[in-house]
Chains A and B, each alone.
Chain A
Amino acid sequence: MDMKRHIIFIFLVSITTGAWSQSALDSLQQLDEVILKTDMGLNRFSQTQKTEQLSDTILTRSAASLTDVLNYNSLIYFKENGLGMVSSASFRGTTAQQTAVVWNGININSQFNGQTDFNTINIRNFDNITVRSGGGSVLYGSGAIGGTIHLNNQLRFNQGFKNSLFLRYGSFNTWDGSFKSGMSSDKFAVNFEMSRTNSENDYDFVDSEKQNTNGNYYNQSISANVAYKINAKNTLKLYSYLYDGERHFSQIFASETPTKYQDYNTRNLMEWVGLYNQFTSRLKLAYITEDYNYFANINKENSTGAEAKTIILKHDLAFKVHKNLLLNSVIDVTQTTAEGASIENESRTITSLNLLLKHNITSRLLYEVSFRKELTENYKTPFLFHVGVNYTPFEFYTMTLNGSRNFRMPTFNDLYWEGSGNTELNPEDSYQVEMGHAFQYKGISLSVTGYYNDIQDMIRWVPTASSWKPINTDHVKTYGLETKLAIKQQFQNHHFLIEATYGYTISENQQTKKQLIYVPNHKAAGYFNYTFKRVSTYYQLLYVGDVFTLSDNNPKYTLDAYTVSNIGAEYALGATKQYRFGIQLKNLFNENYQSVANRYMPGINYNFYFNLNF
């Protein structure tokens, strides 16, 4: 037997034994799970870089905003204009436009400013939230440079009727509630989620007689998701989401004219999954709208705003060449039209072609290679790629290595802002490499990740003779190290979990050799949980190093480092501990801190909550 035949034989054996070793039901459930997932990039092509899914416990214990949960549970740095106000992310030292937020596989960063305001997403409408560090433009397009945040809804068959009610009340008259209801049979699954949070948000500043004025807000979202298995080969799915929020923007001085801001976003996605032997076809049609209105004076009717509508048609075809080799092609056409106070009716169409490959050479060694090319008349599109390896030489050690080219396209504001827009702009261009080491031994895991990111042609608005204009100007290099240690131990009924994570970040403008403003060199987070039978107590710690607020890195104008601690306790009732009651003390040591200059955050504050599953 020659070598080639030998290999084929081994493959055949492994395939057949693989098939025999699973019961029919197991494989059916696995198949369902595959069908019911929708963020294929995350599921198929994210094994060579760092991803982390936030647990349900973490989500329950967090406030409703995406800012709060990621601030305490990731190394992403947040710039928040006071609690609940505009919040932007810096992921691995990049700018706010270089982090993409992905809803069920679709990039939802604003078409106007290219970023997501992390306080306009209520986490209670999603079943899982995953942080994927590093470049992801091949999979998710524009803005996936520092990393991506994934908001996913997970449907399941055969779950019967399930409901979940969550309600929290706390300081500053803050309400946070959600209700989820799901029903499913072997062919049909539906779930419905609604959430609302509102707050007076009139907290007192620490060590001051002032308080947060004009900071009240509310937001509410509804989502409905349906899956219907037409037959063994075809399944239809529908994801629907609606967000409505209004924030009064808090003032720095009481004499300022009070302003407010409204967001209204809808997202709809229809997906048809077809299984045809080695082929899996996914045809998606999505319709996304974003609409904002800014009121320069809350006592007046007039406002300025804009609205964008995006239609996406996408076909994803996966071809399982054999058990260990997956080929995937994606073609999508995205058309966006936008209109607003400073943007005439403008429209752009982007077609993209992707080719992706994943090969499991052995059960311990795999690599991924993928490419993307966009076609559009609006800007010169780069040829994007991603290459990565995942290798587990020992049971306790896994190494990942990847390199990629990513981009951030000019936004509608950059291109079309009346009188200022610059249609000659090129996309921001990033080349990056990342290397990760993960050790796992019994209940202890340790990961160390290093990255290097070279970003050119960064778009910045600069004053010209007659107006401000965006140009491709800055060249920034960001690099750093991220570590995470997690220890999970159990002694009889005592369960302990300790997590500590630390990030060191350099983000340097290559012309000026200065650190970017609002990028701390150090960020650390800690989490300790102790559970004894039905009682849990936990402690959360956040440390953010000092940041420069002026681009010349003037040492007199920095924001001081801060450390914020939260503690909480929970009690579980019911046969399967399905009823939980909790109380939280946030900012236990009454730290006086700001993440944006002159935007003070609250001191010690309290809340209590319950979560009932029935």
Chain B
Amino acid sequence: MKHVIKFLTFSLLFAFVFTSCSSDDDNFIETPTTLGEYDNGILVSAEGGSAQTGSVSYISNAYSTIENTIFSNANAEDLGTYVQSVGFNGATAYIIVDNNNIHVVNRYTFLKEATITTGLNLPRFMVFSNGKGYVTNWGDGFDTTDDFIAVINLETNLVETTIPIAEGPEQMVVYANKLYVSHKGGYNTNNIISVVDLETNVVSNIVVNDVPDEMIINNARELIVLCEGNPSGTGNETEGSITKIDLSTDTVSDTFAFADGVHPSLMSYSNGNLYFTANNAVYKMADFETTLPTTPIINLGNITTYGMAVKADKLYVTDAKDYNSLGDFLVYDLNSNIKIHTFEVGLVPSKIYFN
């Protein structure tokens, strides 16, 4: 009986706390001039694991404040495991989670507006074009025939159609009403960039080196693809490369191959310079350069480099440590190439976005 009373008291208390929270939320006034508390800063998404589900952290542009788990702080619910990436469209952020959910939030307040829960199967990344969202899906990561792009109606937040596509679609870039999709290969490996004509949804392929992942479009309007190469773990190790694709002809115009055994993994672009990581070091390559750089600009030391982004004169890196501790978010000054800040963020931090 005592426990029943205890239980009831607790339930009442809980109810009280939650109703007061939600009434606070109801009273939250959004004015056009206040974008929200997570404006003017950096968002770091973390995949999560069994100890902590995926999460997003906010670090202010002045590096003066940090707040972890901003989604659950704003919504009193967890994102789930594993958070893959976040897509941004206007004032809305789409947080993509392995458990077949996309949480739709206001990117400045992180208050949830909707969740896309149907029609996804191991979603990876999301981009936007002509008022539609495009989400890469692996399906079963071992199955080479069930991969697709889900086309999301952004009004209804429902999957309105799907485009079947080759194994392991990963990141996407939209250019000239075409969707360029890198095929990292899911749990397998692949070596193509799919080009989807967004008028007709007709798909064609560009063959590149193995395991293409990160893509950017440089100032010269070339598509730069970072191909990691097959890791030795596949039993068929191949070379990594930086591959340039001419967007007027959709053909490979240049390939910069890495030395055997070097597998670059992260890439970012800023002010005519490409930044990429290989073996815990950061390299810089200007648009006009015709050979791969041989000396790194930053040696990241003994960390588990897991995410990287560059903006203005700062380079940001995440350290996933042993994948079982909260990770770090590191800030490097590109004038001195010296680390100037370290913040503890979520479990297995992976992606960096600028808000």
- Give the B-binding residues of A (Cβ under 8 A): 207, 251-253, 255-257, 296-297, 300, 302, 304, 418-420, 462-463, 465-468, 517, 549-552, 554, 557, 589-590, 596-598
> What is the CB-to-nearest-CB distance from B200 to chain A, in angstroms, rounded to a whole number?
30
Contact of A302 among B142, B233, B322 (CB under 8 A): B142
The 6 closest A-B pairs by CB, nearest first: A419-B233, A467-B233, A466-B231, A549-B51, A552-B325, A253-B99
Contacts of B7 in A (CB 8 A): 590
Within 8 A of A (CB), among B51-67: 51-53
Contact of B80 among A253, A462, A465 (CB under 8 A): A253
Within 8 A of A (CB), among B150-165: none
Contacts of A419 in B (CB 8 A): 231-235
Contacts of B321 in A (CB 8 A): 552
A81's nearest neighbour on chain B, judged by CB, is B50
Is the Cβ of A466 less than 8 Å from the Cβ of B304?
no
Mark contacts of B228-256 with chain A using CB atoms, 8 A cut-off: 1 yes-contact digit, 0 otherwise.
Answer: 00011111010000000000000000000
> CB of B326 within 8 A of chain A?
yes
> CB of B209 within 8 A of chain A?
no
Contacts A300-B143, A463-B323, A465-B279 hold; do A597 and B51 have CB atoms under 8 A apart?
Answer: yes
Is the Cβ of B237 less than 8 Å from the Cβ of A466?
yes
Is the Cβ of A466 less than 8 Å from the Cβ of B51?
no
Contacts A255-B101, A550-B51, A557-B51 hold; do A304 and B231 have CB atoms under 8 A apart?
Answer: no
> What is the CB-to-nearest-CB distance from A357 to chain B, in angstroms, rounded to a whole number?
44
> What is the CB-to-nearest-CB distance from A474 to chain B, in angstroms, rounded to a whole number?
11
Contacts of A255 in B (CB 8 A): 80, 99-101, 117
A462 vs B324: C-alpha distance in the bound complex, in angstroms? Answer: 11
> What is the CB-to-nearest-CB distance from B118 to chain A, in angstroms, rounded to a whole number?
8
Is the Cβ of A550 less than 8 Å from the Cβ of B232?
no
Is the Cβ of A256 less than 8 Å from the Cβ of B231?
no
A-B residue pairs in contact (CB < 8 Å), sample of 16: A207-B14, A252-B53, A255-B99, A257-B140, A302-B140, A419-B231, A419-B233, A465-B231, A465-B263, A466-B233, A467-B231, A517-B51, A517-B324, A550-B325, A552-B326, A590-B3
A297 vs B143: C-alpha distance in the bound complex, in angstroms? Answer: 11
> What is the CB-to-nearest-CB distance from B255 to chain A, in angstroms, rounded to a whole number?
20
> CB of B141 within 8 A of chain A?
yes
Known contacts A297-B140, A466-B237; can you find 10 more A-B pairs with CB under 8 A? A252-B53, A255-B99, A300-B143, A418-B235, A419-B232, A462-B322, A550-B324, A557-B52, A596-B50, A597-B50
Within 8 A of A (CB), among B133-153: 140-143
> CB of B84 within 8 A of chain A?
no
Contacts A256-B100, A420-B233, A557-B52 hold; do A207 and B142 have CB atoms under 8 A apart?
Answer: no
Contacts of B53 in A (CB 8 A): 252, 598
> CB of B9 within 8 A of chain A?
no
A597 vs B81: C-alpha distance in the bound complex, in angstroms? Answer: 12
Contacts of B122 in A (CB 8 A): 257
> CB of B121 within 8 A of chain A?
yes
> What is the CB-to-nearest-CB distance from B320 to chain A, in angstroms, rounded to a whole number?
8
> What is the CB-to-nearest-CB distance from B341 to chain A, in angstroms, rounded to a whole number?
19
Interface centre among A252, A302, A550 (most CB of B within 10 A): A550
Is the Cβ of B326 less than 8 Å from the Cβ of A256?
no
Contacts of A420 in B (CB 8 A): 233
Is the Cβ of B81 less than 8 Å from the Cβ of A551?
no
A463 vs B320: C-alpha distance in the bound complex, in angstroms? Answer: 10
A207 vs B10: C-alpha distance in the bound complex, in angstroms? Answer: 9
Contacts of B325 in A (CB 8 A): 550-552, 554
Is the Cβ of B50 less than 8 Å from the Cβ of A598?
yes
A590 vs B11: C-alpha distance in the bound complex, in angstroms? Answer: 13
Contacts A253-B101, A465-B279 hold; do A589 and B235 have CB atoms under 8 A apart?
Answer: no
Contacts of A549 in B (CB 8 A): 50-52
A409 vs B106: C-alpha distance in the bound complex, in angstroms? Answer: 52
Contacts of A418 in B (CB 8 A): 233-235
- Give the A-binding residues of B (Cβ under 8 A): 3, 7, 10-11, 14, 50-53, 80-81, 99-101, 117, 121-122, 140-143, 231-235, 237, 261, 263, 279, 304, 321-326, 347
Is the Cβ of A256 less than 8 Å from the Cβ of B233?
no
Contacts of B50 in A (CB 8 A): 549, 596-598
Contacts of B140 in A (CB 8 A): 257, 296-297, 300, 302
A466 vs B230: C-alpha distance in the bound complex, in angstroms? Answer: 8
A304 vs B141: C-alpha distance in the bound complex, in angstroms? Answer: 12
> What is the CB-to-nearest-CB distance from A221 to chain B, in angstroms, rounded to a whole number?
30
Contacts of B326 in A (CB 8 A): 550, 552, 554, 557
Is the Cβ of A589 less than 8 Å from the Cβ of B232?
no
A234 vs B130: C-alpha distance in the bound complex, in angstroms? Answer: 85
B116's nearest neighbour on chain A, judged by CB, is A255
A252 vs B52: C-alpha distance in the bound complex, in angstroms? Answer: 12
Is the Cβ of B324 less than 8 Å from the Cβ of A302?
no
A147 vs B143: C-alpha distance in the bound complex, in angstroms? Answer: 41
Contacts of A590 in B (CB 8 A): 3, 7
Is the Cβ of A207 less than 8 Å from the Cβ of B231?
no
A71 vs B307: C-alpha distance in the bound complex, in angstroms? Answer: 41
A591's nearest neighbour on chain B, judged by CB, is B3
Is the Cβ of A551 less than 8 Å from the Cβ of B121?
no
Contact of B142 among A304, A468, A596 (CB under 8 A): A304
> What is the CB-to-nearest-CB distance from B2 to chain A, in angstroms, rounded to a whole number?
9
Contacts of B80 in A (CB 8 A): 252-253, 255
Is the Cβ of B143 less than 8 Å from the Cβ of A252?
no
> What is the CB-to-nearest-CB distance from A541 to chain B, in angstroms, rounded to a whole number?
15
Contacts of B233 in A (CB 8 A): 418-420, 466-468
> What is the CB-to-nearest-CB distance from A197 to chain B, in angstroms, rounded to a whole number?
26
A467 vs B100: C-alpha distance in the bound complex, in angstroms? Answer: 26
Is the Cβ of A257 less than 8 Å from the Cβ of B51?
no
Contacts of A462 in B (CB 8 A): 322
> What is the CB-to-nearest-CB distance from A526 to chain B, in angstroms, rounded to a whole number?
18
A604's nearest neighbour on chain B, judged by CB, is B3
Is the Cβ of B3 less than 8 Å from the Cβ of A589?
yes
B236's nearest neighbour on chain A, judged by CB, is A419
Is the Cβ of A466 less than 8 Å from the Cβ of B232?
yes
Contacts of A468 in B (CB 8 A): 233
> What is the CB-to-nearest-CB distance from A578 to chain B, in angstroms, rounded to a whole number?
37
A207 vs B12: C-alpha distance in the bound complex, in angstroms? Answer: 11
B323's nearest neighbour on chain A, judged by CB, is A463
Interface centre among A297, A466, A468, A554 (most CB of B within 10 A): A466
> What is the CB-to-nearest-CB distance from A268 to chain B, in angstroms, rounded to a whole number?
33
A552 vs B49: C-alpha distance in the bound complex, in angstroms? Answer: 14
Contacts of B231 in A (CB 8 A): 419, 465-467
> What is the CB-to-nearest-CB distance from A214 to chain B, in angstroms, rounded to a whole number?
12
Is the Cβ of A551 less than 8 Å from the Cβ of B324?
yes
A467's nearest neighbour on chain B, judged by CB, is B233
A462 vs B320: C-alpha distance in the bound complex, in angstroms? Answer: 12
A253 vs B10: C-alpha distance in the bound complex, in angstroms? Answer: 25
A129 vs B261: C-alpha distance in the bound complex, in angstroms? Answer: 52
Contacts of A253 in B (CB 8 A): 80, 99, 101
> What is the CB-to-nearest-CB distance from A81 to chain B, in angstroms, rounded to a whole number?
9
A591 vs B326: C-alpha distance in the bound complex, in angstroms? Answer: 29
Contacts of A256 in B (CB 8 A): 99-100
Contacts of B3 in A (CB 8 A): 589-590
> What is the CB-to-nearest-CB distance from B194 to chain A, in angstroms, rounded to a whole number?
23
A597 vs B51: C-alpha distance in the bound complex, in angstroms? Answer: 5
A255's nearest neighbour on chain B, judged by CB, is B100
> What is the CB-to-nearest-CB distance from B192 to chain A, in angstroms, rounded to a whole number?
21
A207 vs B8: C-alpha distance in the bound complex, in angstroms? Answer: 10
> What is the CB-to-nearest-CB distance from B114 to chain A, in angstroms, rounded to a whole number?
14
> What is the CB-to-nearest-CB distance from B231 to chain A, in angstroms, rounded to a whole number?
3
Is the Cβ of B100 less than 8 Å from the Cβ of A257?
yes
Contacts of B14 in A (CB 8 A): 207
A302 vs B326: C-alpha distance in the bound complex, in angstroms? Answer: 35
B321's nearest neighbour on chain A, judged by CB, is A552
